[in-house]
Amino acid sequence: MYDYIIIGGGSAGCVLASRLSEDPAINVALLEAGPVDNSVLIHCPAGLALLARTGAAGWGFDTTPQAGLNGRKGYQPRGKVLGGSSSINAMVYMRGHKADYDHWAEQGNPGWRYTDVLPYFKKAEHNERTFDPKDAEFHGKGGPLNVMDLRSPSKYGAIFIEAAKQAGHPESKDFNGAEQHGVGMHQVTHKNGERFSAAKAYLTPHLAPNLARTNLTVITSAHTTRILIEENSGIKRAVGVEYRQGTETKQIKASREVLVCAGAFQSPQILKLSGIGPAAELQKHGIPVVHDLPGVGENLHDHIDVVQVVNAPHLKDLFGVSLSFLPRAIKAIFEWRKHRTGMLTTNFAEAGGFIKTSPEEETPDLQLHFVIGKLVDHGRKPTFGHGYSSHICLMRPKSRGRVTLASADAMAAPLIDPNFFADPDDMRRMVQGFKQMRTILSQPALAGYRGQELATTAEAKTDIEIETVIRNYADTIYHPVGTCRMGPQEGAQANRLNVVDSELRVHGMRNLRVVDASIMPRIVAGNTNAPVIMIAEKAADMIKAVQNG
């Protein structure tokens, strides 16, 4: 028997496990389907490239065939390891735009305005940079999550920034400060030249001795199969969790709450497997309906993204596969092992920015990521030679999809349908963004290096041709959200497809919350890891408030 059971050892789960177990009188269990995070490929930032290529530490989900992608299946990597996706992502620290959180509040979610959530971003953060006074008020010191500037950045990030400025875009020194709009270098979740995942920030013994707490039990290789629910006098409450470990099926009980932190794909899947979701879908798979909640799995949306790749074989100081690169790579391995410096401290997406499809836009609606290597098919396909890449990503897509069950088998992957480009406005903005990205890459600062855009995209000149390229090559940039949407089911802002209230409690259930990216009513304009950590920090305080009466 535990006070709290947390399903999912990703970013949100690590935060909740750490914060709730601060009280020695509270017993917490954390269930993670993957292993502990002991691979060097996780801790060495540049190991990201091999993680992508091998699929190690990830679920490796695919989407259903996407009509908007000419029938292709999209790739949807999610972390299956302690730390979750924060152990396999590109480590960019980004919060999104202030307006995103104000929009959440306007959808009937009090307490989620930017001014409400900023203290939780700051509580989580320890930023190593010394900021200008106008930006310092937005950042924290002393929090568990270490944020810093890249230790050994490539020179090409600064060159990309100069090219973007030549194309008319402003420079931003701090995307998380007073003004997001502009281009600049990314800050990253690193410490001492290593990846600093949510697991390292909130759990790992030699950095934060929380795993030594006798009131915190972390169970890895534990695949949750369902939430245990009891009903008494019409009141339905979560009382425990069933999980599979190897060939054994086990159960543990929770006296206070079950907290679902399995992410935008698996949180709705677990709820449905437990009988919580759209009645017709559950009945289709022979799952007894415990609570008919139509919104579970709906409202899936994601940042759709396309990459322009530039071939520059003569630029040997960029990452690439070549005989001349091998000695540099070997030297870099020894440098990283000895000093935690050098080229292996890169996150690859070293620079980027937020731009607008037109000056009339109130806030940026496109995001750039500049990568110091040739990125093809999420880095899963080896590309020989050297070069660089630039992503263009749509910040606030209008298209909505869903997550459904493939079967009642808890070990089967869910069916993931982001419904990319269902709304024509998404494609219109992406085409404009593609052209703006090409303009940046053609500016003198970069053009002087004589790189050549790969033929797969270079031949696209007209809007119709660019749209074809986007449909042939676009895919996620790994930010799925929204499938357990936060919002009221009563009052002026009521929506029957809302799943959790503003306290993240599942509507119609007791002792059950969802705490992860799935609760976002609308995706934030930026990378989603920092917002998920903020959500969990805020949720921990909500839970403690109930706990303390």
Beta strands in 220-365 (DSSP E): 223-232, 235-245, 248-260, 276-277, 291-292, 298-300, 304-311, 320-321, 349-355
Catalytic residue among 43, 386, 391, 479: 479
The full DSSP string for 521-540 is SS--SS-SHHHHHHHHHHHH
Distance of CA 95 to the CA centre of its chain: 11
Cα–Cα distance between 167 and 162 in angstroms, integer? 9
Give alpha helix (H) positions in 313-394. 325-339
CA distances from 481 to 68, 156, 300 (A): 19, 32, 6
Cα–Cα distance between 294 and 278 in angstroms, integer? 4
Is residue 479 annotated as part of the catalytic site, yes or no? yes
Phi, psi of 512 (to 5 degrees): -140, 120
Q: Exposed e or buried b for every residue in 136-145, given b needs 16+ CB within 10 A?
A: eebbbeebbb
**What SS3 class is residue 422?**
coil
Tell me 426's DSSP state: H
Give the tokens for residue 18. 């750490």
Q: Would you say how long the chain is, in residues?
A: 549
Cα–Cα distance between 535 and 423 in angstroms, integer? 28
Type of residue at 269: Q
The residues, ordered by sequence, that sit 6+ positions from 14 with a Cβ below 8 Å of its Cβ are: 30, 82, 83, 84, 86, 197, 198, 199, 201, 202, 203, 536
Cα–Cα distance between 138 and 339 in angstroms, integer? 31
- Cβ neighbours of 312 (radius 10 Å): 19
CA distances from 315 to 348, 405, 490 (A): 16, 47, 60
Give the tokens for residue 31. 């269930």
Torsion angle defined by CA atoms of residues 289, 278, 412 and 74, in that order, rounded to the nearest 10 degrees: 180
**What SS3 class is residue 281?**
helix
Give alpha helix (H) positions in 454-497. 455-458, 463-473
Active site residues: 479
